[in-house]
Amino acid sequence: MVIRRIGPLSCAKIVSVLQAVFGLVVGAMFSVLSVLGAFGSEEPNSALIGAIVGVGAIVIFPIFYAVIGFVAALIAAALYNAVAGVLGGVEMDVQ
């Protein structure tokens, strides 16, 4: 079995969703750390700022990771198709 072509848009959609999930995990970790760091501070509004940054991380990180993942996968699949056209693709043994 030889993979001669990968659908760039199909590949980009799958990678985008996977990256969004990863971004959600990273955003959640960042959120917890920012809130914990804010509560340890002596500044008067640090807890509020930490909470805003934490919620922002949960929203922004998945979107950022999804967009970057989509673009990177789209480019990678298009490059794979160009190289596979010249070299013949990737051979796989499937049972």
Instruction: Kindly give the confidence (pLDDT) of every residue in the chain, 95 residues in length, as a single tens digit, with 9 standing for 90 and above.
Output: 888 899 999 999 999 999 999 999 999 998 888 877 777 777 777 777 777 888 888 999 999 999 999 999 999 999 999 999 899 888 888 87
Are 94 and 3 spatial neighbours (Cβ–Cβ below 8 Å)? Answer: no
Distance from C-alpha of 85 to C-alpha of 88, rounded to nearest angstrom: 6
Any idea where the domains of the chain sit in the sequence? 2-91
Instruction: Give me the pLDDT at residue 44, please.
Output: 75
Distance from C-alpha of 30 to C-alpha of 56, rounded to nearest angstrom: 10
What is the DSSP code (8-state) at residue 95? Answer: -
Q: pTM for the complete prediction? A: 0.80
Instruction: Give me the pLDDT at residue 56, please.
Output: 87
Beta-bridge partner residues of 91: 2
Instruction: Give me the pLDDT at residue 18, please.
Output: 97
Distance from C-alpha of 15 to C-alpha of 25, rounded to nearest angstrom: 15
